[in-house]
Structure 1
Amino acid sequence: MTRTDTPHRPPAGEGSVRRIPARRRAFRPYLLSIPAVLLIAGILYPFGLGVYYTFLNYSAMVPEPVLVGLANYAVVLSDPVFWESVRVTLAYAVTTTVVETVLGVGIALLLFRASLVGRMLERLLILPLMIAPVIAGVIWGLMYNPQFGVLNHMFGLGSTFDWLSEDRALWSVVLVDVWIFTPFVAVLVLAGIRSLPREPFEASAVDGAGALYMFRRLMLPMMWPYILVAVIFRFMDSLKIFDHVYVLTAGGPGGATRTLQIGAYQNSMTNLNFSLGSTYMFLLWIIVFITARYLVGVLGKAQRRAAGTED
């Protein structure tokens, strides 16, 4: 009697491949995109609502706001206080970005050439970044105090020198920003320097090129994209600054540090005119958007030039 051998079929779930129905496979991309859709909706809805408020007369004094068209834009754009806020914001952003970039690149170069002890001190560089800007504002506010502030005693300025007076407030606030965010630029640029290829520098050293020549002709062109990334981050953030500026001066004295963010806060939270506050923020968004598009275009050109692919 012969026995017919039949192929062994493993039990379900053991060694068998479970086929997913075609309908479920087609639905999977939409399922995976749900978090992204929710995130976009969470961003666009408040943004759209804020833009909508700019066309209303929405304030605490008007319980039932109505459409007023471009009246809020006409009020804001014809207000000298707004243009002074634009000037202060741009002066603050440009000054902090330039100073932090120069100091950050210099610190990065020093740390790149540093010894073992210098590399250990490198870890202390990020300490200001670990402090919330509000807390940093409180600390520097105590240091700036004319009566018991440590800076006046350290430099022998006496109790009459006011760091936050009308003619010094902006630069004192800039100093705090430089102290907080220069390490960010230094760390970012240092990471870029350490990622550069070593072969061009070794070949130039063999040919007898000096350190200054290699920095100007080799290192700086190749690290330019990293510097631009730092500039973009810092300039965009400086345009939107609020926290430590408000803690130190609340926009004063005499509007010397009244940035667009603080102007929006004062209109919305102090004057309770939410439409004017939203108009301030939307105009600030336009400034940030235009600046970001321009800087990203410059970054793209720098990256192509560094890669040698620019026509």
Structure 2
Amino acid sequence: MSKTNKEKLPDLNRVPFKTRVRPYLIVAPSLIITIGIMVPFVMAIWYSLTNFSFKLPTHKFIGLTNWVNVLSSGSTWKAIWVTLLYGIASTAVEMALGMGVAMLLNSLNNRFSKIMRVVLIFPLMVAPVTATIVWQLMLNSSAGIVEKLLNVFNVYNFPWASSPKTAMMTVVLIDVWVNTAFVILLVLAGLQSLPKSPFESAKIDGGSNWFNFRNLTLPMLRPSLYIALLFRLMAALQEYAVIYALTKGGPGDALMSLSLTAYQQGFKFQKFGAALPYILILWLIINVVAKEIVKRQRAAQKQAAGLDE
């Protein structure tokens, strides 16, 4: 290096200490969060390869025994099926209802619409366990208000959560009641952020409501829909509170999802090493699904902005 180039380089000793430390301070929060995530994750993988249990004073490495037992068990695949069915069913209903109600509220610019926007937030303020207990009372075969309503249509003693055939429908119903408001808020915010000029031009050209929805609203709203889908599907796949509070995974094993199976193995049977593969399988499912949704959301965002190739 020539003498001229050496003279152009800044003297680090003359740079203020705050300036030198600033890049490290900016990176520090992300580094701390990453460490806080990775340490438990690595420990979970390690303990899944051991016979770790509170019943034993020590634990030892047993290799892939826990994984072989989990993956060769029929109950594991039943738990995966229940998890996917619950997540997809509840999210699909919430997305459909949330989008429909949000579009209705967005089109009604009156006092009723403003009141309903406040009322629809109330379910989000209720804890899932509390909401489940309330719905248990409402669905009670002897004194429940829903049961009395069904009696008007000559339907008596509907099984709800007491039958394997209707238990999934019941927990999905409660989940939809609690979380649809979340989708409504996100979609409503997306609708109100859409530009007005394309819709005004379409109105002048005589475009129908269906044409505007299919060619204008839906393409521009798709990024917001993917965000709502991402949050709701991730939460539904790992749902525990509603199912446990309603039936504890029953009747039988009808609602034994991966979360409840892991809880049962870890806390009821005290086999924490055997419970961790269920959690890691659930993490893998959520990770794959989330990556795909984020990929599609970014593509939709570029398309809405007119940047797609």
How high is the TM-score relative to the length of structure 1? 0.89
C-alpha displacement of 1:235: 0.8
Q: Which residue of 1 aligns with 2:73?
A: 79
Residues 1-311 of structure 1 mapped to structure 2, 5 A cutoff: 22-114=16-108, 115-156=110-151, 160-164=157-161, 165-311=163-309
C-alpha displacement of 1:118: 1.6
Q: Which residue of 2 aligns with 1:4?
A: none
Amino acid at match of 1:248: L
Q: Is the 8 A contact 1:147 1:159 kept in 2?
A: no
Q: Which residue of 2 aligns with 1:3?
A: none
C-alpha displacement of 1:239: 0.5
Q: What SS does the aligned partner of 1:279 have?
A: helix
Q: Is the 8 A contact 1:145 1:162 kept in 2?
A: no
Distance 1:74 1:97 in 2: 31
Distance 2:268 2:196 in 1: 57
Distance 1:309 1:24 in 2: 40
Per-residue CA distance 1:89-131 (angstroms, 9 max, x = gap): 1011111111111111100110011123222221111100010
Distance 2:17 2:221 in 1: 50
Q: Is the 8 A contact 1:100 1:181 kept in 2?
A: yes
Q: What SS does the aligned partner of 2:120 have?
A: helix
Distance 1:118 1:24 in 2: 52
Amino acid at match of 2:122: L
Amino acid at match of 1:89: T
Distance 1:34 1:207 in 2: 55
Amino acid at match of 1:163: W
Distance 2:18 2:34 in 1: 25
Amino acid at match of 1:277: A
C-alpha displacement of 1:231: 0.9
- Unaligned stretches of 5+ in structure 2? 1-13
Distance 2:206 2:146 in 1: 48
Q: What SS does the aligned partner of 1:59 have?
A: coil
Alpha carbons of structure 1 residues 32 and 220: separation in structure 2 relative to 1, 3 Å: closer
Q: What SS does the aligned partner of 1:241 have?
A: coil
C-alpha displacement of 1:159: 6.4
Q: Which residue of 1 aligns with 2:7?
A: none
Amino acid at match of 1:293: K
Distance 1:50 1:251 in 2: 24
How high is the TM-score relative to the length of structure 2? 0.90
Amino acid at match of 2:260: I
Aligned-pair identity in percent equals 37
Q: Aligned Cα RMSD in Å?
A: 1.7
Distance 1:142 1:48 in 2: 43
- Unaligned stretches of 5+ in structure 1? 1-19
Q: What SS does the aligned partner of 1:297 have?
A: helix
Q: Is the 8 A contact 2:139 2:145 kept in 1?
A: yes
C-alpha displacement of 1:147: 2.7
Q: Is the 8 A contact 1:104 1:185 kept in 2?
A: yes
C-alpha displacement of 1:31: 3.8
Amino acid at match of 2:174: V
Distance 2:122 2:79 in 1: 31
Distance 2:53 2:281 in 1: 19
Q: Is the 8 A contact 2:150 2:156 kept in 1?
A: no
Amino acid at match of 1:191: A
Structure showing greater Rg? 1
Per-residue CA distance 1:254-284 (angstroms, 9 max, x = gap): 1111111001100001111001111110111
Distance 1:161 1:215 in 2: 39
